[in-house]
Amino acid sequence: MKEIDFKLDECLIRLARLEDEPDLKAIAKTIWEGGDYLPRVMREWILEPWFIVCEYQGRVIACIKLTMLPDKSLWFEGMRVHGNLQGRGIGKLMNRAAMEYASRLASEHPGLRYEFSTYFLNHETLHLTSRMGFQQVESFHTLDKYGVRHLSEPDMITDPGMDIFDHFPHYLPVGWRTVRKHPDSLAYIRSHATVFATPRARYLIGGHENKDITILDPIPNDFRTELPYLQYFFGPKRKYSIIFPRSQASKIASLKNLGFRDWDDNPDMKPEMLVFSMPAVSE
C-alpha cells in the first residue's frame, strides 16, 4: 500500500463484501504487530449487517463495524485504518460514515444508544469520539497471563440468571463488548459466552476467539488455586486475559505476583478498558 498522493475525496464508503477479505487481512497485518483478531471475525461480520469499509483506488483501506446489542445498544467496534495510511483523515471519515448509518437505525429504534469500548492509551480514538459527544460511563481492569501447565475442569453454568450482574451494576464485559445490566442481556450471554464456576468463584469467558475471562465474583484471596480452572479452556500454557471491575483494583498487586501483566506500562494502575456511551439522535 503506497503512502504517496493520497486523496481523501476519492474514498468510497460502502458495506463490506466477501471479496474484500484479502484487503481486510492486509489491513490486519499492520495492526498490533500482525496479531489483530480481524481475520478471525471478518467473514462473520461481512455476513452480518453494518460492516462498513472504505475503498480507495479499488482496494479496501479501512473498516468499522456496527452491532446491535441488547437493551437498545448499538455497538461500534473494529475501527481499522491501514497502517501506511493512518493520520490522513480516514479515521474521521469512517466515524462520520458510521454515524450516518447509526442515525438511520436510530430513527427505527427509539431510545437507541451508541456505545463502544477502547484501550485507555488509544488517544486518537478517545480524542475523536469525545469531540463527537461520547462520554465515558464505565471502566475495567484487564491483565494478561501466559498459562499454567495443569488443567482442572470447572462446573458449567448453562442457564445463568441476573445474579451474574451482582458485582457489575451497569455493564458486564463479554470480551471487549459490554452488555448492559438488563434481562434481555441474558439471551445474548447464553449464545455468545460460557459461564462457569469453580469452588470459589464464577467466571464468564467470551469475546473474539474466546480469549477473555471476566471475573464475576470478588477475586479469591488465593487466586493461584483458580488458575488450572481458567486454563482449562485454552490448553496448557496458553495465553489469556482476565477482566475485572475497578472495585477489585486492590487485587492487582497479588495478581501480578502470580504472573499477570499489563499490556503497557501502567504504574498508576489505571483501568485499561474504557466504555463510552452517547444517546442517539434520529434524523
How confident is the model over 144-156, as pLDDT tens digits?
998 889 999 999 9
- pLDDT bin (cut points 50, 70, 90) of residue 130 is confident
**pLDDT score at 276:** 97
- pLDDT bin (cut points 50, 70, 90) of residue 210 is low
- Strand 239-245 to 212-215 pairing: parallel
Ordered by start, the domain boundaries in the chain are 8-111, 140-273
pLDDT digits (tens, 9 = 90+) for 110-121: 999 999 999 999
Q: pTM, whole model, 2 decimals?
A: 0.92
Return the half-sphere exposure (C-beta side, CA atoms, 13 A cut-off) of residue 94. Answer: 30
More confident residue, 159 or 148: 159
**pLDDT score at 32:** 78
With beta carbons less than 8 A apart as the criterion, state whether 243 and 214 touch.
yes
Lowest mean pLDDT among 14-23, 118-127, 150-159, 212-221: 118-127
**pLDDT score at 57:** 94
**pLDDT score at 209:** 63
pLDDT of 100 above 90: yes
How far apart CA 32 and CA 38 sit, in angstroms, is 11
- Find where cell 485504518 sits: 81
**What's the 3-state SS for the chain?**
CCCCCCCHHHCEEEECCHHHHHHHHHHHCCCHHHCCCHHHHHHHHHHCCCEEEEEECCEEEEEEEEEEECCCEEEEEEEEECHHHCCCCHHHHHHHHHHHHHHHHHHHCCCCEEEEEEECCCHHHHHHHHHHCCEEEEEEEEEEEECCCCCCCCEEECCCCHHHHCCCCCEEEECCEEEECCCHHHHHHHHHEEEEECCCCEEEEECCCCCEEEECCCCCCCHHHHHHHHHCCCCCCCEEEEEEEHHHHHHHHHHHHCCCECCCCCCCCCCCEEEEEEECCCC
Residue 275 φ/ψ, nearest 5 degrees: -115, 135
Beta bridge mates, 59: 56
**pLDDT score at 3:** 52
**pLDDT score at 282:** 56
More confident residue, 209 or 204: 204
- pLDDT bin (cut points 50, 70, 90) of residue 125 is confident
Query: What is the CB neighbour count within 10 angstroms for residue 2?
Result: 8
**pLDDT score at 111:** 93
Encoded amino acid at 273, one letter: M
What number is the average pLDDT over the span 137-144?
Answer: 97
CA 183 centroid distance within chain: 21
pLDDT digits (tens, 9 = 90+) for 32-86: 777 889 999 999 999 999 999 999 999 999 999 999 999 999 999 999 999 999 9
Selection from 64, 74, 67, 70 nearest residue 112 by Cα: 74
pLDDT digits (tens, 9 = 90+) for 165-194: 999 999 999 999 999 999 999 999 999 999
Mean pLDDT of the chain: 93
8-111 sits in which CATH class?
alpha beta
8-111 and 140-273 share one fold: yes
Residue 132 φ/ψ, nearest 5 degrees: -80, -15
CATH architecture for residues 140-273: 3-Layer(aba) Sandwich (3.40)
**pLDDT score at 2:** 53
Percent of the chain with pLDDT over 90: 86
With beta carbons less than 8 A apart as the criterion, state whether 81 and 62 touch.
yes
pLDDT of 4 above 70: no
